[in-house]
Amino acid sequence: MTTYIIRRLLLLPVLLVGVTIIIFGMLQFLTPVERSALYIRDIPHGEHAIEGVITRYGLNDPLPVQYWHWLVGRTDPISGQVVGGILRGDLGYSRVGSQPVIDLIKQRFPATLELALWAVLPIIVVGIWLGVQAAVHHNEWFDQFARIFAIVGASFPTFVFGLLVLMIFYANLGWFPPGRISDATSQIISSPSFKTVTHLISIDALINGRFDVFLDVLRHLFLPVLTLSYISWATFLRVTRSSMLETLRQEYVTTARAKGVAERDVINKHARPNALIPVATLAGFQVVTLLGGVVITETVFDYPGIGSAAATAAAQLDVVTVLGFALFNGLILIVANLVVDVVYAFIDPRVRLQ
């Protein structure tokens, strides 16, 4: 097991370098003048200002030199200070956010993380439960209902379902508003008496003992979580059902039943653990999708996360911000893939022996 984890950890820096090379290669489609927008914070006054930025950051240097400077930074020949360098947190300047891209990510990521934490549990738990129950009650009424449920969920565009629940639960009933918090709650968390610890408002509300703030956050999270869950349940249901049906046909399951093992134990101890092996990979990438920002859901519900910021940047052709988010998502994907590989080895011992 230790050898397996070490091998995966050794691959991590290789994958990270690969992601940075891809992002850097995409930057090369831009001219040096266009790439200077990575570092320009104010409107340049004349061509000499842009030429100064190009010289300062070495945007006309050979590609290997440019890549190294983009990665670790470059010493400014005039001031002698190290400038640039994504490893130093310099991902460029966001025109949309009017701040460095790294600061925009820090500002928006807590909202996306909070949405992901509240959505991942119902997505995975309910999706797996539906798939297992559909397989156990194969061709019965529950299985037929689950299949229709999955087909409808897979066919529903996310923005259509989001707009539908907004129309029902907000426009007509006024129960669950869009956004992250209400104006009254915004004033509470901005007050000196409210201590910000995690930047996740729901958790900070519990830490501060403000259950009114906590309930307000849940009211705003309900519809985005419902939308993400319903669309994802369809995928989890189909994968879990298919894997569970295949597992239930295995000889060791038949042997367990022949020995008189209770059906509940056959399902929970013999069939389900093995059926969940392919589901573990799906769950891992679902987490990556949530943490990377669900663009459509955040945009529909006016939720101030990374996804909505990326959509705004793309709409305004803010290439620097979009590539910064792409690099951030690539990092999340690599780390999550490593975690999935380790979890996979715990679930299936055969992986450790490969």
Count the alpha carbons within 13 Å of 158 in the hemisphere toward its beta carbon. Answer: 18
**How many angstroms separate the CA atoms of 3 and 190, rounded?**
49
Q: What does the pLDDT look like over 242-265, one tens digit per residue?
A: 888 888 888 887 787 788 877 777
**How many angstroms separate the CA atoms of 322 and 91, rounded?**
10
Look at residue 221 in the predicted model and tell me its pLDDT: 92
User: Quick one: tokens of 82?
Assistant: 């190290």
Q: What does the pLDDT look like over 162-217, one tens digit per residue?
A: 889 999 998 888 888 888 888 888 888 888 888 888 888 889 889 888 898 899 99
Residues of the chain with pLDDT > 90: what percent? 4
CB 275 within 8 A of CB 82: no
C-beta contacts of 145-153 below 8 A and 24+ residues apart:
146/237, 146/241, 149/233, 149/234, 149/237, 150/233, 150/234, 150/237, 150/238, 151/234, 152/234, 153/230, 153/231, 153/233, 153/234, 153/237
Q: Assign 56 a pLDDT band (cuts: 50, 70, 90).
A: confident
User: Quick one: tokens of 122?
Assistant: 């119902």
Top-ranked range on mean pLDDT: pick from 37-41, 115-119, 248-252, 289-293: 115-119
Residue 100 phi, psi (nearest 5): -55, 145
Range name among 104-108, 109-113, 330-334 with the lowest pLDDT average: 330-334
User: Quick one: tokens of 231?
Assistant: 């669309």
Query: Over 60: is that where the pLDDT of 17 sits?
Result: yes
Query: Over 70: is that where the pLDDT of 41 sits?
Result: no
Mean pLDDT (the chain, rounded): 82
Residues of the chain with pLDDT > 70: what percent? 93
The helix or strand, by DSSP H or E, that contains position 324, with its residue range, turns out to be helix 319-347
CB 85 within 8 A of CB 71: yes
User: Quick one: tokens of 132?
Assistant: 């297992």
User: Quick one: tokens of 9?
Assistant: 């950890």
Look at residue 262 in the predicted model and tell me its pLDDT: 79
* Closest residue by Cα to residue 292 from 335, 233, 254: 335
Which residues are within 8 A (CB) of 1 and not within 5 positions of it... i.e. 6 or more apart?
345, 352
Count the alpha carbons within 13 Å of 104 in the hemisphere toward its beta carbon. Answer: 26
Tell me the three-class secondary structure of 149-166, residue by residue: HHHHHHHCCHHHHHHHHH
